[in-house]
Amino acid sequence: MVPVIFTLALLGAASGNPVIPKDAASGSISSPASSSGPITLPTPSSEPTCYTSSQWLVISNTSVFWPTSTDYLYGPTTGPGASDVICAAQWMQYNARSSGLSQLGPTKTTTVTVYTPTSTGACRTSIHPEGYSDAHTGPMTTLCDGHARALGPRETATAYYPGTGPCSTFSLSAVEPTTLYREPSASPTCRAELEGCIGVWQTYSSLSSAYAASVTSPIPGDTRSPLRPQNCPNTARDYPEENPCSDCHFIPGTATMFYWPVTTANGDLCAQNGTTIPATPTGNGPNTAILDDHTLVSPSIYLSFTSINAWSNNRHGHQCGEPHYNQLVSLHPTAVTSLRDHRNARYAYEGTPYPFNFAEFIPQTIGNYTQSLIPWPQYRGGSQCPLYDPSCTMVRDDYLPYIEVPDAAAEIDSHWAGCSRRWLVPAVTMVPIIDGTAVAPTPTGDPEAMAFEVDAVPEGMVAAPTPTPTTEPGW
């Protein structure tokens, strides 16, 4: 076996006629002359040898493809970008030579013992608002719809990692082999940039196509085959689109709906046959409220978006129109449509549309608690329950309905008229306008500061009266 140090000295020793002729005056690349028939490799001798012949290296009677960088100058070597062309060629030479030498097998294998810290028990904790998969430890009740309901605000839940019980930390040992291979020399220190690599990739693509057309199947080590410029940045593919707004969808940010609460008299939770009572007047004429710099006027409800934009439905689509931020649109209450069992995704699962029923958010008193009693079908179809996860079985005070993007939002940008309003839709936070005041929800703070105590409440409380809307209900 030839010593590694002897092999390292071979870098740059290879010589031969360039495979890809280059015009000396213009620096342009011309296609290599095609040839047919098998490649003739140097005939190994019976004695251990190490020499080069054209683009081949012979080590101990084994031939290795040994390209020379000057044969792979895919572009001019003078002027702008010349350094990137030269750098790319140096890396092509290095990568191909390293690949050939690695096929000769390792020169040495050693082992090293590594130690990885690990732990068991409750070494880390995570406190988060109670979710669908967490156990509920507070008071609960079951009403006439037969589904368990958590009473009071959402609790906080604690997760333990990697498990429960006392925390124990230690290290695991593992023996990892280290294999040494021959290397042609130190790797190039240059770094090709995008601008100069544009022409490099274009030339490679042209030469590669010409070579593929000239042979039935590629021959390993064929010096006519261009080398791929692996260490040269490639330009991002451009997929032109004449009109991205002809087939598009919305991408909404965080959404909040401000609405005028209604009350009901009499009625039954399951029958939904209560009588709707309009909101308490705030003065003569329509009710009004102030939200930042906006005046809200009843009976309109208002939907705010932290951001909203639209995008083409094509796989490599482009933006439709412009992105818009902090948008507030007004809607008639009957113009709101919820989508049950909807899920946003690259290829969304479009939910079933239902008329929106604001009476579902009327606070009801059960024992010592007052909260909205969202019907189970609406709750199960909301954004807080995974679509196919059967573990979402309890109604909690965390309902966020999916709302179809309304026509009024589509009017924010004139390019959005044809965009789908049921592909990516917002999960909205519902905020009632009370006593002429509309307060935007604040971001959730430190979860540890959200902890609270819950008093026990008797199970099986009777159902409180719930309304039937005067318009078509969304039940």
Which segment, 153-162, 261-270, 404-413, is predicted with the most confidence on average?
A: 404-413
Q: What is the pLDDT of residue 52?
A: 84
* Helix segments in 130-193, DSSP class H: none
- Give the domain extent around 95: 50-105+190-213
Domain-located, residue 295: yes
d(CA 325, CA 289): 22
pLDDT-based confidence at residue 346 (cuts at 50, 70, 90): confident
Q: What is the pLDDT of residue 398?
A: 92
Mean pLDDT of the 188-210 span: 89
- Res 470 pLDDT > 80: no
Tokens coding 409:
């939002």
- 168 and 150 share a domain? yes
- 202 and 296 share a domain? no
- Res 321 pLDDT > 90: yes
Lowest-confidence segment of 33-37, 186-190, 338-342 by average pLDDT: 33-37
Does residue 162 have a cis peptide bond before it, meaning omega lies within 30 degrees of 0? yes
Cα within 13 Å of Cα(445), Cβ side: 5
- Res 466 pLDDT > 80: no
Domain-located, residue 123: yes
Domain-located, residue 196: yes
* Helix segments in 267-389, DSSP class H: 376-380
Higher pLDDT, 182 or 35: 182
DSSP string, 306-331: EEEEEEESSTT--EEEEEEEEEEEEE
Mean pLDDT of the 42-46 span: 50
Q: What are the Cα distances from residue 415, in Å, to 135, 246, 282?
A: 47, 9, 39
- Res 300 pLDDT > 80: yes
Amino acid identity of residue 23, one-letter, is D
- 415 and 311 share a domain? yes
Neighbours of 35 (CB within 10 A): 11
Higher pLDDT, 164 or 236: 164
The predicted model scores a pTM of: 0.60
- 64 and 170 share a domain? no
Q: What are the phi and psi torsion angles at 56 (to 5°)? A: -135, 140
Tokens coding 25:
């005056």
Q: What is the pLDDT of residue 424?
A: 94
SS3 call for 387: coil
Contact 256, 304 (CB under 8 A): yes
> C-alpha angle with apex 188: 187 to 193, nearest 5 degrees?
135
Identify the helix (H) or strand (E) that includes residue 34: none
pLDDT-based confidence at residue 468 (cuts at 50, 70, 90): very low
Higher pLDDT, 368 or 443: 368
pLDDT tens digits, one per residue of 101-116:
988 888 888 888 999 9
Q: What is the pLDDT of residue 282?
A: 58
Amino acid identity of residue 130, one-letter, is E
Does residue 299 have a cis peptide bond before it, meaning omega lies within 30 degrees of 0? yes
Tokens coding 405:
């993007």
Amino acid identity of residue 413, one-letter, is D
Q: What are the phi and psi torsion angles at 90 (to 5°)? A: -65, -40
Q: What is the pLDDT of residue 367?
A: 86
Angle between helices 194-214 and 82-102 (to 10 degrees): 50
Domain-located, residue 227: no
- 414 and 316 share a domain? yes
In angstroms, how far is CA 462 from the centroid of its own chain? 46
Q: What are the Cα distances from residue 57, in Å, to 7, 48, 61, 106, 184?
A: 10, 13, 10, 17, 11
Q: What is the pLDDT of residue 422?
A: 94
- Beta strand 156-162 pairing with 122-129: antiparallel
Mean pLDDT of the 376-391 span: 93
What residues contact residue 218 under an 8 Å CB cut-off, 6+ apart? 211, 212, 225
Domain-located, residue 289: yes
Domain-located, residue 14: no
- 65 and 123 share a domain? no
Contact 204, 134 (CB under 8 A): no
- 300 and 423 share a domain? yes
Q: What is the pLDDT of residue 279?
A: 60
Give the total number of structural domains in the chain. 3
Q: What is the pLDDT of residue 167?
A: 94
Domain-located, residue 36: no
Q: What is the pLDDT of residue 265?
A: 61
Question: In percent, how much of the chain has pLDDT > 90?
Answer: 41
φ/ψ bin of 140: left (φ > 0), alpha (ψ from -120 to 50), beta (otherwise) = beta
- 326 and 426 share a domain? yes
Mean pLDDT of the 411-420 span: 95
pLDDT tens digits, one per residue of 436-456:
777 777 644 333 333 322 222
Q: What is the pLDDT of residue 264?
A: 66
Nearest to 435 by CA among 264, 318, 279: 279
Whole-number mean pLDDT of the chain?
Answer: 79
pLDDT-based confidence at residue 29 (cuts at 50, 70, 90): very low
- 194 and 296 share a domain? no
- Res 463 pLDDT > 50: no
- 266 and 330 share a domain? yes
- 288 and 411 share a domain? yes
Higher pLDDT, 209 or 469: 209
Higher pLDDT, 364 or 245: 245
Q: What is the pLDDT of residue 274?
A: 61
- 283 and 313 share a domain? yes
Which segment, 43-47, 116-120, 213-217, is predicted with the most confidence on average?
A: 116-120
Domain-located, residue 162: yes
- In the DSSP assignment, the letter for residue 269 is T
Q: Where are the beta strands (DSSP E) in 66-155?
A: 108-120, 122-129, 140-142, 148-150
